[in-house]
A and B are shown apart, each in its own frame.
Chain A
């Protein structure tokens, strides 16, 4: 049994709760034990950096301190935003003693201490390197053979701090998807930005970026998209109607989390994987696998 600390972040308790549900279910099935940080706070996301870097680092460091004071395990952050921010805080603490000093003093007054030992990791890396493809393949109960999946990494897992994958052509998710039996659709935009919060602030700009992605995924024959970030998932899924109307093009594609696909292949019940939370339903997935592949 492998053990980790777990930082869900706000999205996994909110709009992206299917990511948490499927992640927890997959971990359980693969014998991974997670311990959620006690009374964690928001990591600060991109918004806090736009206000003040000390505040941004302080928020993330409080979470790192909670992890360090309670265990020695690595900290898993499935949300791409949290993953980047927590890693960034680790870098800033080491690189900028002035910021680190102020932040640590404020934390100390609250009885918290962080020495910089916590390694922040993404589930993609853990499933690939700690669990391993072979161990996953051995537990596959219902292969997704025949299903064409576009793996979409987005920005913040691979840029700028990813240590476990290539920044230009990441393949960790590709390998995990192939382990489920599904076929990976090659497409060049797998790390191109979905627009992040622009879809909510400057909708036209954000949706234009989503259109480029959906158009390319569909053109390459994807039947479903795998994501590893709650904001990517949301952006690509919920604006499809508006995008289709604006561009007069069918962009309908179910947008799943990679953990949901792995869960399906492990034979976990759909409800445990949060599949009922899809706005663009992914009901046809198992049927599609069988139709494509009668064996």
Chain B
């Protein structure tokens, strides 16, 4: 079947409030300075795998093409190497823009089901909230169970290597690396959530738009 879709977007379809929202996030303030030179895309070691290069993502974001950027592979491929950020002649925090877009995409759950990168971010968030620290091997196993179950069978050799060299002990799956008193950190995160929730509520009441409930990453 031939798929026929409109390839041109009408200006009215742009979501300007999205662009404004992202521009307020830390590191993203200077996005309007972008001269579309493409230095970021050239510096990026993963741009060859992306659907939109970083340069395009910046333009799409500041122009308000919300769905296009939030559904792009670009934001997930960014490995936080900061090459774009240090190369940008306009000092735009491009890595931070990617973080801001990841946050939005996770919040609105616009990624394919079982896509490993947002799942990893959320499992990471939950483990730190509960234990205060990350048990890497346990996190990796959890990630594989939740995203690409079958691939875990291809990992035996790596598992054996890690066991043999004492870098991983099965004991740590039951008693993972943890703070002495992880409740201290859980409490801190909950206190922070309470503050962010009440602040967001205030902001929403002020703007007359009491819609979105706040729960970072929907992780709880």
A residues lining the B interface (CB < 8 Å):
10-11, 13-18, 39-42, 44-55, 58-59, 62, 92, 95-96, 99, 102-103, 105-107, 109-110, 155-156, 159-160, 167, 192-193, 195-198, 200-202, 205, 209, 238, 241, 276-279
Cβ contacts A to B, 10 pairs, < 8 Å: A10-B133, A10-B177, A15-B168, A17-B167, A47-B124, A109-B191, A110-B187, A160-B86, A200-B116, A205-B77
Name 17 extra pairs, CB < 8 A, besides A58-B189, A279-B165: A10-B136, A10-B177, A14-B168, A15-B167, A15-B168, A52-B217, A55-B125, A55-B216, A58-B192, A92-B26, A107-B188, A110-B187, A159-B81, A160-B82, A193-B79, A200-B140, A201-B116
- Check A106 against B117 for contact (C-beta < 8 Å): no
CB distance from B154 to the nearest CB of A (A): 9
CB distance from B142 to the nearest CB of A (A): 11
Asked if B25 is an interface residue, CB under 8 A from chain A, the answer is yes
| Chain B residue with Cβ nearest A155 | B81
Q: Which residues of A contact B82 (CB under 8 A)?
A: 155-156, 159-160
Q: B81 touching A202 by the CB < 8 A rule?
A: no
- Over the window 172-207 of chain B, the binary record of Cβ atoms lying under 8 Å from chain A Cβ atoms (1 yes, 0 no) is 100001011100110111011001100100000000
Residues of B participating in the A interface, judged by any CB pair closer than 8 Å: 25-26, 45-46, 49, 76-77, 79-83, 85-86, 95-96, 99, 102-103, 106, 116-118, 120-122, 124-125, 128, 132-137, 140, 143, 157-158, 161-162, 165-168, 172, 177, 179-181, 184-185, 187-189, 191-192, 195-196, 199, 216-217, 219
Q: Complex formed: what's the CA distance from A196 to B122 in Å?
A: 17
Number of A-B contacts (CB under 8 A): 179
Given A96, A192, A201, which contacts B143 in the complex, CB threshold below 8 Å? Answer: A201
Give 10 closest A-B pairs by Cβ, nearest first: A193-B81, A47-B124, A159-B82, A201-B116, A155-B81, A50-B102, A52-B216, A196-B79, A51-B217, A10-B134
Report A-chain residues with C-beta under 8 Å of the C-beta of B116.
Answer: 200-202
Complexed CA–CA distance, A224 and B166 (Å): 21
What does DSSP make chain A's interface, helix, strand, loop or mixed? Answer: helix
Residues from chain B with Cβ under 8 Å of A95 in the complex:
26
Whether A53 contacts B25 by the Cβ 8 Å rule is yes
